[in-house]
């Protein structure tokens, strides 16, 4: 009985600490909240079976991100992508921060178009750092690259994005 209670506590802790980040990952790939919620549920069920919880000092997000990404991509392959637009960053941000100030709604479409122009590698590293709030260590584990490469790619992606955003007026 005691181990069942401990398992429930671990599962609840996992969901409480990572649900929003996993949901944002699935939304990013699927561009459909309903499908993303299904994938998120699947991720936690699979993660509970596969993650080693004895290592308490490790972040669990890298493995959860990889699971969410792979399950989302598998769903896209089996179902076909319904929509070719990027998700609104408002949706991604509001998944974890509903009180976010988004009086810049008129710029969301412009930003989406600019982000869509970035290479997948650049878009993904920006997503991980700025929308998933991943540490360099987590990004390193997710992308399977050294931390120095993470910093270099992130710098480069930010510079590209900065150059592309120069013409966008942010509701001033």
What's residue 112's pLDDT?
73
Looking at the fold, whether 57 and 117 belong to one and the same domain comes out as no
Rounded to an integer, what distance in angstroms lies between the CA atom of residue 90 and that of residue 70?
24
Looking at the fold, whether 67 and 97 belong to one and the same domain comes out as no
Domain span including residue 162 = 87-167
pTM of the model: 0.70
| Residue where one domain finishes, among candidates 24, 56, 84 | 84
Looking at the fold, whether 79 and 91 belong to one and the same domain comes out as no
Q: In the structure encoding, which two tokens stand for residue 40, read together?
A: 């998120």
| Alpha helix positions (H), 31-52 | 33-50
Q: In the structure encoding, which two tokens stand for residue 155, read together?
A: 């710098």
CATH code, domain carrying 41: 1.10.1740.10
Looking at the fold, whether 102 and 118 belong to one and the same domain comes out as yes
What's residue 154's pLDDT?
96
Burial of residue 103, with CB atoms counted within 10 A of its CB: 0-12 exposed, 13-18 middle, 19 or more buried? exposed
Looking at the fold, whether 121 and 74 belong to one and the same domain comes out as no
What's residue 102's pLDDT?
46
Looking at the fold, whether 6 and 69 belong to one and the same domain comes out as yes
Query: Averaged in consecutive runs of 10 residues, what is the pLDDT profile of the chain (172 residues)?
Result: 67 90 91 93 90 72 92 88 51 48 56 83 90 92 95 94 74 48
Domain assignment present for 127? yes
What's residue 64's pLDDT?
93
What's residue 97's pLDDT?
46
Domain assignment present for 36? yes
Domain assignment present for 172? no
């Amino acid at each position: 009985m005691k181990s069942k209670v401990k398992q429930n506590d671990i599962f609840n802790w996992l969901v409480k600490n990572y649900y929003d980040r996993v949901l944002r990952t699935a939304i990013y790939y699927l561009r459909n909240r309903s499908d993303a919620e299904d994938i998120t549920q699947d991720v936690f069920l699979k993660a509970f079976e596969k993650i080693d919880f004895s290592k308490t000092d490790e972040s669990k997000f890298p493995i959860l991100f990889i699971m969410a990404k792979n399950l989302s991509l598998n769903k896209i392959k089996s179902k076909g992508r319904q929509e070719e637009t990027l998700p609104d960053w408002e949706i991604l941000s509001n998944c974890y921060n509903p009180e976010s100030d988004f009086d810049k709604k008129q710029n969301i479409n412009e930003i989406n178009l600019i982000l869509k122009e970035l290479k997948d590698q650049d878009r993904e590293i920006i997503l991980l750092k700025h929308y998933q709030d991943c540490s360099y260590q987590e990004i390193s584990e997710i992308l399977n690259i050294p931390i120095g490469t993470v910093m270099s790619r992130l710098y480069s992606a930010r510079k590209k994005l900065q150059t592309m955003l120069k013409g966008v007026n942010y509701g001033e």
